[in-house]
């Protein structure tokens, strides 16, 4: 599991270690990890040219000490400082190693020709969101050069992943001790580039925000026992599609029919049912289920379909509520459910502007999960799965090619199959979303895909996970 801790949690864990270690040892560990990551990018430090952006705190200190390591190994290191006082020992170490530092001046400071990369040490976990005018001017001076952010790209809101003001956009972020929320949650996560973690040996509490890794998904995936039969593996019912939107029914069934549960029922328009069975002859009609998927392409029937599903919910049958059915959900739900809105659908449900949801997806997903007392899966580049108790999982698999019609229908079906197989709503939604993203990446192989390709790739993803 990848855990993302809050600044408060990180500070508390660092304090314990700081009390036990010689002064400066923790920062030295961080700076060496940072220097090593920069050397990996440069190929060789000798003859390289690196520009440090150094703010007033320990984040700037990390940059200065890493700069000293690089300078000792033959790199030309220059620092621009953004405060009257920067980390004194760090600045002394840089100068002693042959590096230079000077106060940034918007009128005259320019990166030296041949600069290989820029290190952003303006602010870290002690920073307020946004950048001051001189930092904005410096950021704009180095446009086009690769940027390595120290801990976080300066200017992002570390604990929420929001970017309410100007910020640095990095190609690589080297962070310390643990991931922070901004490394996983958009829009800040999109400004981090590739994130590299340097271990500091911190002892950390459980994290509210996490990202499943392949080993976690493999452990959670249902797999048939030796005595399994189709009913013990779970039955999922699909109420999606209509004569106007038959494809929604077909794709929801495709997502459910990837072999992760024992049986799929399609309940809907007779003509759509015939087409579903032409493609998926194993699909049967109405009957008892262990989970429902409802909503996509149901148009004017959405409210009635949702009501039928929620009636079963009274006896504990969980459901996935998607697309057209989302508009008919009233809070709080009284049966186990996964809601799968994109930002526009969540905006329509809650009366909040879509742009506000996109600017603060973590806060809005969490609030919706509490309001509806249900798991809310908010779709996006990094899909968020929020539980009513505040826990959040971030999906980091996927490819931009997944932004294609019908992909959401496949996702709903897939999550429904996992619910039917016995996963709880939080696990079903987060595992389903992870597998969906991984299947898209596998099917895409760097090229275009359509929704049905994603469903087709699910068994191969599962096979690799269980191998």
Nearer to K ion, 115 or 232 (CB): 115
Q: Quick one: DSSP state of residue 384?
A: E
* Phi, psi for 39 (deg, rounded to 5): -60, -40
Alpha helices (H) in 142-187, listed in sequence order: 181-184
Nearer to ligand NAX, 139 or 233 (CB): 139
Q: Quick one: DSSP state of residue 299?
A: G
Q: How far, in Å, CA of 383 to CA of 428, rounded?
A: 14
Out of ligand NAX, K ion, none, what residue 245 binds, judged by CB under 5 to 8 A for its kind, is none
Out of ligand NAX, K ion, none, what residue 130 binds, judged by CB under 5 to 8 A for its kind, is ligand NAX
Which residues lie below 8 Å from residue 278, measured CB to CB, with a gap of 6+? none
Is 268 known to sit in a ligand binding site? Answer: no
CB of 25 to ligand NAX, least distance (A): 9
Annotate each residue in 274-313 with x if it binds K ion (CB under 5 A) or - if it does not, as one string: ----------------------------------------
Report DSSP letters for 338-353, one per residue: EE---HHHHHHHH---
Q: How far, in Å, CA of 412 to CA of 408, rounded?
A: 6
Element (H, E) at 228: none
CB of 166 to K ion, least distance (A): 13
Out of ligand NAX, K ion, none, what residue 311 binds, judged by CB under 5 to 8 A for its kind, is none
Q: How, if at all, do strands 194-198 and 179-180 pair?
A: unpaired
Q: How far, in Å, CA of 159 to CA of 202, rounded?
A: 18
CA dihedral 246, 250, 252, 255 (to 10 degrees): -160
Q: Which residues are at the interface with ligand NAX (CB under 6 A)?
A: 14, 18, 26-27, 30, 55-60, 62, 123-128, 130-132, 150-151, 176
Nearer to ligand NAX, 81 or 396 (CB): 81
Nearer to ligand NAX, 80 or 176 (CB): 176
Is 297 known to sit in a ligand binding site? Answer: yes
Task: Tell which positions 87-146 bind K ion, by CB under 5 A.
Answer: 120
Total number of residues that touch K ion (CB under 5 A):
4
Q: How far, in Å, CA of 296 to CA of 322, rounded?
A: 6
Is 61 known to sit in a ligand binding site? Answer: yes
Is 128 known to sit in a ligand binding site? Answer: yes
Is 285 known to sit in a ligand binding site? Answer: no
Out of K ion, ligand NAX, none, what residue 120 binds, judged by CB under 5 to 8 A for its kind, is K ion
CB of 150 to ligand NAX, least distance (A): 5
Is 124 known to sit in a ligand binding site? Answer: yes
Q: How far, in Å, CA of 75 to CA of 99, rounded?
A: 9
Sign of CA dihedral 420, 424, 426, 427: negative
Out of 81, 101, 154, 160, which residue is the one contacting K ion (CB under 5 A)? 154
* Phi, psi for 56 (deg, rounded to 5): -75, -15
Nearer to ligand NAX, 170 or 333 (CB): 170
150 binds K ion (CB under 5 A): yes
Residues of the shown chain interacting with K ion in the complex, contacts defined by CB under 5 A: 120, 149-150, 154
Binding residues for AMP: 379-383, 408
């Amino acid at each position: 599991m990848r855990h993302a801790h809050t600044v408060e949690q990180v500070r508390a864990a660092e304090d314990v270690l700081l009390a036990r270690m010689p002064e400066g040892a923790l920062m030295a560990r961080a700076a060496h990890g940072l220097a090593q990551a920069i050397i990996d990018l440069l190929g060789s430090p000798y003859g390289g040219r690196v520009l440090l952006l150094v703010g007033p705190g320990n984040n700037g200190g990390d940059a200065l000490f890493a700069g000293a390591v690089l300078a000792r190994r033959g790199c030309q290191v220059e620092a621009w400082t953004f405060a009257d006082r920067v980390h004194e020992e760090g600045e002394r170490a840089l100068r002693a190693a042959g590096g230079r530092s000077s106060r940034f001046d918007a009128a005259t400071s320019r990166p030296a020709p041949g600069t290989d990369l820029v290190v952003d040490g303006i602010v870290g976990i002690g920073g307020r969101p946004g950048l001051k005018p001189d930092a904005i001017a410096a950021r704009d001076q180095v446009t086009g050069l690769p940027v390595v952010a120290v801990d976080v790209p300066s200017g992002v809101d570390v604990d929420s992943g929001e970017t309410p003001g100007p910020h640095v956009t990095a190609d690589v972020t080297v962070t310390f001790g643990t991931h922070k929320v901004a490394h996983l949650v958009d829009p800040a996560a999109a400004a981090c580039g590739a994130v590299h973690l340097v271990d500091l040996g911190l002892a950390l509490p459980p994290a509210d925000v996490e990202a499943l890794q392949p080993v976690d998904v493999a452990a959670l995936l249902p797999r048939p026992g030796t005595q399994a039969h189709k009913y013990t593996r779970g039955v999922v019912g699909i109420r999606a599609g209509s004569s106007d939107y038959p494809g929604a029914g077909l794709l929801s069934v495709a997502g459910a029919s990837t072999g992760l549960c024992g049986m799929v029922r399609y309940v809907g328009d007779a003509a759509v049912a015939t087409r579903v069975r032409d493609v998926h002859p194993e699909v049967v009609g109405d009957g008892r289920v262990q989970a429902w998927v409802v909503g996509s392409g149901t148009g004017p029937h959405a409210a009635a379909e949702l009501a039928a599903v929620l009636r079963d919910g009274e006896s504990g049958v969980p459901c996935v509520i998607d697309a057209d059915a989302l508009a008919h959900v009233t809070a709080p739900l009284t049966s186990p459910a996964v809601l799968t809105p994109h930002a526009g659908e969540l905006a329509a449900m809650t009366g909040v502007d879509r742009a506000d949801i996109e600017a603060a997806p973590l806060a809005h997903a969490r609030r919706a999960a509490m309001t509806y007392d249900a798991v809310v899966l908010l779709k996006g580049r990094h899909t968020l799965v929020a539980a009513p108790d505040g826990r959040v999982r971030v999906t980091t698999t996927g490819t931009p090619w997944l932004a294609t019609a019908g992909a959401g229908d496949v996702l709903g079906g897939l999550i429904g199959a996992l619910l039917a197989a016995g996963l709880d709503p939080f696990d079903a939604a987060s595992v389903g979303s992870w597998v969906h993203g991984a299947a898209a990446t596998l099917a895409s192989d760097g090229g275009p895909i359509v929704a049905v390709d994603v469903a087709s790739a699910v068994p191969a993803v599962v096979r690799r996970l269980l191998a």
